[in-house]
């Protein structure tokens, strides 16, 4: 055999490479699920409650306070005038032109979830670097009951 009479070249099998890649992906997903379970858990468990607050905030930004009041599902002692004093254009939290939702927090043995809602009188929602506009932004915690999706303020 001479230098120019080399043995026939065979390409390595792709099956081994695919198997190693699949094992690596499975290990990565498993580690992620074990280390960060909250990232997978929260979006599904509190989807209805977050969605209820989202619809409430959308109605406020559109100026549809009557529908927002219906979503709130108030007790008889919380009249529409009380609601307008809180959420109306001249209310404590108003005018609401934009909002940002935070992560929900479940209170152990509680009957609902606490959702963080930030409301701003500016459209669009102020950037984190715009301190002048962020000073007028209000962060509040809303309580959404599991059984009827009524909104209120968290129990003390």
DSSP the chain: --TT-PPPP-PPPHHHHHHHHHHHHHHHHHHHHHH-HHHHHHHHHTHHHHHHHHHHHHHHHHT-HHHHHHHH---TTS-HHHHHHHHSTTSSS----EEEE---EEPTT-SEEEEEEEEESSSSPPPTT-HHHHTT-EEEEEEEETTT--EEPPP-
Q: Note the pLDDT tens digit of each residue in 87-116.
A: 999 999 989 999 999 888 767 677 888 999
| Global confidence as pTM | 0.73
Position 108 scores a pLDDT of 66
pLDDT at 68: 96
pLDDT tens digits, 24-74: 999 999 998 888 877 777 667 888 999 999 999 999 999 999 999 999 999
pLDDT computed for residue 32 by the predictor: 87
Structural domains of the chain, ranges and CATH numbers in brackets = 37-152 (3.10.450)
pLDDT given for residue 96 in this prediction? 94
């Amino acid at each position: 055999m001479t230098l120019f009479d080399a043995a026939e070249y065979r390409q390595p099998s792709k099956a081994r490479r695919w198997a190693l890649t699949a094992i690596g992906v499975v290990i990565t997903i498993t580690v992620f699920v074990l280390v960060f379970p909250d990232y997978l858990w929260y979006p599904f468990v509190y989807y209805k409650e977050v969605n209820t607050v989202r619809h409430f905030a959308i109605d406020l930004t559109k100026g549809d306070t009557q529908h927002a009041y219906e979503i709130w599902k108030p007790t008889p002692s919380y009249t529409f005038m009380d609601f307008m004093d809180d959420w109306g254009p001249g209310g404590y939290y108003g005018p609401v032109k934009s909002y940002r939702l935070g992560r929900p927090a479940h209170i152990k043995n509680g009957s609902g979830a606490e959702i963080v809602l930030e409301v701003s009188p500016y459209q669009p929602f102020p950037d984190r670097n715009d301190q002048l506009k962020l000073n007028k932004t209000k962060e509040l915690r809303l309580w959404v009951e599991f059984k009827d999706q009524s909104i209120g303020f968290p129990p003390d």
